[in-house]
Amino acid sequence: MLKHGRIGITRPEQFPKLFHVYSVATDTSDVGRIRHGGRELYTSLRCILSIAKPEEAERFSQMGVTVTHTIFQRGAPAAKEHDIFALVKKGAETRFFEVQAVHDKGEMNIDTTYYCKERGDRK
């Protein structure tokens, strides 16, 4: 089923899905290393999940950052770097994405792009 959306024709895989956003508590050890503590539910958002384009993955790879997916959100940024997006399907969190970079296009708070790395070790 094709629908005409705000940007043009949209397909079912482009429909927004529910994500829980967790902020990760960090702490510093006595020797100066960063320790990740527990995570706290920050908010819930409806976003579009997409696999990162090869050009985006290469651009971030040159900066030493791994990017596997992009998450698009309508509106001002609601998450920051190192936050965790958890995809919710049928009431359960199934996939986890760690935010590597946030891009508010034009800083106009219209659309926000999160560049993420999928994490299989976060539950």
Report residue 46's pLDDT band, with 50, 70 and 90 as the boundaries: very high
Domain residue ranges in the chain: 15-119
pTM of the predicted model as reported, rounded to 2 decimal places: 0.81
Q: What is the pLDDT of residues 70-118, one digit of tens each?
A: 999 989 999 999 899 999 999 899 999 999 999 998 888 888 999 999 9
Sign of CA dihedral 73, 44, 49, 16: negative
Tell me which fold the domain 15-119 belongs to.
Thrombin, subunit H (2.40.10)
Alpha carbons 121 and 123: distance in angstroms, whole number: 6
